[in-house]
Amino acid sequence: MTGQSKVHHGVPPQSLTVLKPHKLGRYHHRVPQLIKETTHKNPRLIADYFLSNYRISLELADLNVEEVSELAPDCIYRCQLGKLGFAIDRTLLGEALECYYGGTLNANQDTPPISSSEKRMRDRLGIDVADIFFRGLMSGESFGKFEHYQNDYEETVWEYVAQYQYLSHLTGRRASLYLFLDAQLVDELTDRLAGPGTPRAVGNPLDHVRHLPVRLDCIVAAMQMPLAQVLALGPGDILLMRPLDRYEVRINGQKLYRGAVFEEDGALFLTSLESVNAQ
């Protein structure tokens, strides 16, 4: 084999950037930034929900938004714009369950076993937190009603996972809840981040093309000189140049016309245009 090899041996795969075709030309990279900016503006948005509904005092300790996560959602919900997954640490779920039924949770108490009450609480938390999450992102606008979704024959691809880690003032423990966004929800967010689209023009497309703005460059003078002289130029130097007999008019470096320049009332005008055949 001759020439430069296109195979670079010894390069670890994790150091390579994997391109995702469905993300090219999209605003997907702004979704994690939007989640973080919205959370930092109102860090108590989800914590106030737990305080008002379950009398749990939480403080946001950390927020991570990742593309890949080994964790799978406990619940999956679907709205008219896509699917969202939800997961919550057992410690935080158990604390919500105890506080909701009026109990007192000991900091050293073990997490209770999975029960039907725990599952119902998790489903309820998921729907409420999902609604709060998207209302925060969209400045109060709702993504619609979330409904529990389960399909054993469909594998959902999650684009981003947002991990909210909270510190409980009651137990002193840290626990997290997770929100999984599928491709449809991410696409909807990117469309809204891009803003309203440009209205489609009606009529003959050729007429619209003829009205596109075009930059014309008029070459008044030109000269050739050795590179050594160019490098030797300094401030205050004067170059002796002869104006062209006919001035070239160019578009993107291509000659279009030749013309004459005249002055009137202190302004320069281009006239007497003659076409230049492309070489």
Q: Are 222 and 258 in contact (CB under 8 A)?
A: no
Out of 75-89, 95-109, 154-168, pick the least confident. Answer: 95-109
Per-residue pLDDT at 121: 92
- CA–CA gap between residue 193 and residue 28 (Å, rounded): 9
CATH of 18-193, one of 3.40.50.920, 3.20.190.10, 3.40.1550.10, 3.40.50.261: 3.40.1550.10
Burial class (CB in 10 A: 0-12, 13-18, 19+), 63: middle
In this prediction, residue 71 has a pLDDT band, given cuts at 50, 70 and 90, of confident
What residues does each domain of the chain span?
18-193, 214-275
Q: What is the mean pLDDT of residues 107-130?
A: 78
Q: What is the mean pLDDT of residues 100-110?
A: 57
The CA angle 64-66-72, to the nearest 5 degrees, is 100
211-238 burial, b for 16+ CB within 10 Å, e for fewer?
A: eeeeeeeeeeeeeeeeeeeeeeeeeeee
Is the pLDDT reported for residue 5 higher than 50?
no
> What would the pLDDT profile of 9-65 be if each residue is shown by its tens digit?
555 666 655 555 555 555 567 888 889 998 999 899 999 999 999 989 999 999 999
Q: Which fold has domain 214-275?
A: Surface presentation of antigens (SPOA) (2.30.330)
Closest Cα to residue 178, out of 122, 105, 107, 113?
122
Per-residue pLDDT at 7: 47
Q: Can you tell me whether residue 170 is helix, strand or coil?
A: coil
Q: What is the mean pLDDT of residues 241-263?
A: 82
Token digits of residue 129:
């937190």
> What would the pLDDT profile of 159-189 be if each residue is shown by its tens digit?
899 999 999 988 889 999 999 998 888 888 8
- CA–CA gap between residue 34 and residue 189 (Å, rounded): 9
> What would the pLDDT profile of 205-240 be if each residue is shown by its tens digit?
777 777 778 888 888 888 888 898 888 888 878 777
Per-residue pLDDT at 186: 85
What does pLDDT average to over the chain?
A: 80
* pTM of the complete model: 0.60
Q: What is the mean pLDDT of residues 236-253?
A: 80
